[in-house]
Amino acid sequence: MEAFPIPCNVFYDVTMSVDSLLPVAAQEPSAAFSSLTPVHDAVKAHGWWRSAVIYQIYPRSFRDLNGDGVGDLAGITAELPQLAELGVDAVWLSPFYRSPQRDAGYDVSDYCDVDPLFGTLADFDALIAEANRLNLRVIADLVPNHSSDQHIAFQAALTAGANSPERDMFIFRDGQGPDGNEPPNNWQSHFGGSAWTRISEPNGLPGQWFLHLFDSSQPDFNWDNPAVHAEFERVLRFWLDRGISGFRVDVAHALVKAAGLPNWGGRADGNSSDGFPGQDAPMFGQPALHDIYRRWRSILEEYGPDRILCAEANVDPLPRLAQWVRPDEMHQAFNFPYLHAGLDVNRLRHIITDSLLSLDAVGAPSTWVLSNHDVVRHVTRFGYDGPGPRDGDGIGPDDAQPNEDLGRRRAAAATMFMLGLPGGAYLYQGEELGLPDSTNIPGTMRQDPTFARTGGARIGRDGCRVPLPWRSAEPHCGFGDGLDPWLPQPESWPALARDKQEVDPASHLNLYREMLAQRAAHRLGQGSLAWVEDYCTGSSLAYLNGTTLVIMNVGTDAMPLPAGQTILRSSAAGTGAEQPGADQPGTDQLGADQLGSGETIWLTAS
Ligand code: GLC
């Protein structure tokens, strides 16, 4: 039984026939493009998530209603109508659970309560009620790989001593060397330094070591222990009972470790590196993970067919990622290879084809994404012509700075290219405003543990987490009218505030609104994909989705467009004087037969 009824999105009304789920375009193939070979056919399967646009909310930076400088659940509830109006289908909330906030909430000390920083369980219930009213679904972030060292179970493990059931909830081992003063193996933390920390035993002497793939305040759970499974099944049910539509599962590839915890010489993030294919990493992608997700899927299905799991699974290659979304496992997995492909059209084409073929083979949709709270925002990434920042490392005041206008223009093009693709998509809060990363946060204000754990060598992820600008004339750009925001807002924020963009037809915000409306109207998320070779050059990429022809030009010159097509929307059309990036001509200035540099267009193929 659902505690809160979830409104049915009209596109997925189960009373509709299968044929009516086909995109309009698939019912009226266009003559000029009908000979193309599809890589992916239009979707016939049901499931709201298959084509949904899901908006990531990073609660501490969304909206601060109580004036303490940190965003809160009540702030989210107050602004949800803005997201409904933007045209998204669901929101994903990054962690709001009780936490010492050593990793911005990804260090959870109580999985079944709201951190007082963000509000109360009653605030959470109010948020769900408002989301239901607005036909928005809400997905929570589940952090099952590790807890906070302040979690009651870890505190009990510290005091219980070696070989106790309490220690068995986590991964404790004796150290190597005569005095046990060397870590049990050579694994490295994602945030830098060893993945092991030695504790003092209750008698005060140096004792065992515990594993933490992230910060030393984030001990990894022992997923070989059935008690850990039972605890997380309780957590799943707690939030499902409160009306959540599903979970984004944090580091979903890491929960189970290879027996014996063998040394690993590859990258700490488990991705492939020279001589070390990622699939061999002993801390990632172990086969037993899949049994966990099958069990979770069956729990979700007790609540009906609409609750979903989305994997943050950083595994390669793509056919392997598809194992996370087999019919009885998760529903979605973020397509990180797509995010990391940048604007390299050859790489993008290869990844899109590979994704659609691999995921079609298991009946799952692809889930496209360009930004999140862990990577440099795509406006900033695309503002470099040469090699930009390494994803996730951040940009500091002493680094080469991006060309923000160029980046925003290219980001609009990249987003329009992504939103035309069949499948689901995730947006990260603030990208609809064209926000860049903040690149001049002083070291003393940085909060990402990456910065401290690497002595500042890696800047970290604070730059993409700066509180949002809502209303240009209000204190802190309308983020909150009390204390200073937890991270300083750049000087450019007032010009980018939502209220300014609302009244500017050529704004980034209005581009997003129109893209989402057109995407829904043309059912692009449920659609098909065929490459249009004539417009796939070394610097452009084109595909047909139903009757919508999408062309992206990442070259330095304008390119000719096919004659006789109707323009649905260009990423640069309507570019007004105030629109950042307006220094390059768009299709409206070039004429309807040209596509400008750094521009994407949606045409009706006829
Ligand atoms: C995931 C989160 C990231 C967090 C890490 C540890 O990658 O997205 O923000 O730091 O897991 O929980």
> What average pLDDT does range 553-560 have in this prediction?
96
Contact 153, 146 (CB under 8 A): no
The answer on pLDDT for 578 being more than 60 is no
The answer on pLDDT for 580 being more than 60 is no
Question: Is 299 inside any structural domain?
Answer: yes
Question: What integer pLDDT is reported at residue 182 of this predicted model?
Answer: 97
Query: Residue 190 sits in a domain of what CATH number?
Result: 3.90.400.10
Q: How far is the CA of 526 from the centre of ligand 1 (A)?
A: 30
Question: What integer pLDDT is reported at residue 276 of this predicted model?
Answer: 72
405 with 494, same domain: the answer is yes
284 with 344, same domain: the answer is yes
Question: Is 73 inside any structural domain?
Answer: yes
CA angle 424, 426, 429 (to 5 degrees): 155
63 with 163, same domain: the answer is no
Question: What integer pLDDT is reported at residue 583 of this predicted model?
Answer: 54
Question: What integer pLDDT is reported at residue 587 of this predicted model?
Answer: 60
The answer on pLDDT for 24 being more than 60 is no
Question: What integer pLDDT is reported at residue 93 of this predicted model?
Answer: 98
Q: Minimum mean pLDDT among 24-33, 191-200, 455-464: which range?
A: 24-33
Number of domains within the chain: 3
Burial class (CB in 10 A: 0-12, 13-18, 19+), 398: exposed
The ligand 1 atom at the shortest distance from the C-alpha of residue 215 is 6
d(CA 316, CA 279): 7
Q: Which residue has a Cα nearest atom 9 of ligand 1? A: 374
Q: What is the pLDDT of residues 458-478, one digit of tens each?
A: 999 999 999 999 999 999 999
Query: Residue 257 sits in a domain of what CATH number?
Result: 3.20.20.80
Q: Minimum mean pLDDT among 38-42, 189-193, 388-392, 498-502: which range?
A: 388-392
The answer on pLDDT for 20 being more than 60 is no
The answer on pLDDT for 582 being more than 90 is no
Ligand 1 pocket mutation pick from 145, 147, 220, 251 by most atoms within 8 angstroms of CB: 251
237 with 306, same domain: the answer is yes
Q: Which residues pair with 426 in a beta bridge?
A: 54, 369
The answer on pLDDT for 558 being more than 60 is yes
302 is catalytic: yes
Give residue 160's domain range.
152-211
Residue 307 vs residue 25, higher pLDDT: 307
> What average pLDDT does range 118-144 have in this prediction?
98
d(CA 232, CA 309): 14
Q: How far is the CA of 373 from the centre of ligand 1 (A)?
A: 9
Q: How far is the CA of 507 from the centre of ligand 1 (A)?
A: 32
Question: What integer pLDDT is reported at residue 591 of this predicted model?
Answer: 66
64 is catalytic: no
Q: Which residue has a Cα nearest atom 3 of ligand 1? A: 374
> What average pLDDT does range 13-19 have in this prediction?
27
Question: What integer pLDDT is reported at residue 266 of this predicted model?
Answer: 87
> What average pLDDT does range 295-307 have in this prediction?
98
434 with 462, same domain: the answer is yes
Question: Is 512 inside any structural domain?
Answer: no
Q: How far is the CA of 251 from the centre of ligand 1 (A)?
A: 7
Question: Is 7 inside any structural domain?
Answer: no
Question: What integer pLDDT is reported at residue 40 of this predicted model?
Answer: 97
Q: What is the pLDDT of residues 444-456, one digit of tens each?
A: 999 999 999 899 9
315 with 394, same domain: the answer is yes
267 with 399, same domain: the answer is yes
341 with 410, same domain: the answer is yes
Task: Give the domain-ending residue among 211, 238, 257.
Answer: 211
Strand 367-369 and strand 424-428: the pairing is: parallel
454 with 362, same domain: the answer is yes
CB neighbour list of residue 43: distance below 8 Å, 6 or more residues apart: 21, 50, 51, 365, 422, 526, 527
Confidence of residue 17 (pLDDT cuts 50, 70, 90): very low
Q: Which residue has a Cα nearest atom 5 of ligand 1? A: 106
Question: Is 220 inside any structural domain?
Answer: no
Please list every protein residue whose CB sits less than 6 Å from any atom of ligand 1: 103, 106, 143, 214, 250-251, 312, 373-374
- pLDDT > 70 fraction of the chain, expressed in percent and rounded: 91
Question: What integer pLDDT is reported at residue 45 of this predicted model?
Answer: 87
Q: What is the pLDDT of residues 66-110, one digit of tens each?
A: 999 999 999 999 999 999 999 999 999 999 999 999 999 999 999
Say which of 301, 302, 484, 593 is annotated catalytic.
Answer: 302
Question: What integer pLDDT is reported at residue 273 of this predicted model?
Answer: 76
Residue 276 vs residue 320, higher pLDDT: 320
In Å, how far from its chain's centre is CA 354? 20
Q: How far is the CA of 94 from the centre of ligand 1 (A)?
A: 10
The ligand 1 atom at the shortest distance from the C-alpha of residue 145 is 12
Say which of 64, 141, 215, 250 is annotated catalytic.
Answer: 250
> What average pLDDT does range 237-247 have in this prediction?
98
Residue 205 vs residue 314, higher pLDDT: 205
Q: What is the pLDDT of residues 314-349, one digit of tens each?
A: 888 888 899 999 999 999 999 999 999 999 999 999
Question: Is 5 inside any structural domain?
Answer: no
Q: How far is the CA of 338 from the centre of ligand 1 (A)?
A: 19
Question: Is 523 inside any structural domain?
Answer: no
d(CA 246, CA 162): 37
Confidence of residue 585 (pLDDT cuts 50, 70, 90): low
Task: Give the domain-ending residue among 487, 502, 517.
Answer: 502
Backbone angles phi, psi at 158, to 5 degrees: -65, -40
Confidence of residue 15 (pLDDT cuts 50, 70, 90): very low
Ligand 1 pocket mutation pick from 57, 102, 106, 426 by most atoms within 8 angstroms of CB: 106
Which of 24, 37, 36 minimizes the C-alpha distance to 562? 36
173 with 288, same domain: the answer is no
Confidence of residue 589 (pLDDT cuts 50, 70, 90): low
118 with 90, same domain: the answer is yes
d(CA 498, CA 430): 9
Confidence of residue 588 (pLDDT cuts 50, 70, 90): low
Question: What integer pLDDT is reported at residue 606 of this predicted model?
Answer: 74
Contact 395, 367 (CB under 8 A): no
265 with 413, same domain: the answer is yes
Confidence of residue 8 (pLDDT cuts 50, 70, 90): very low
Question: Is 596 inside any structural domain?
Answer: yes
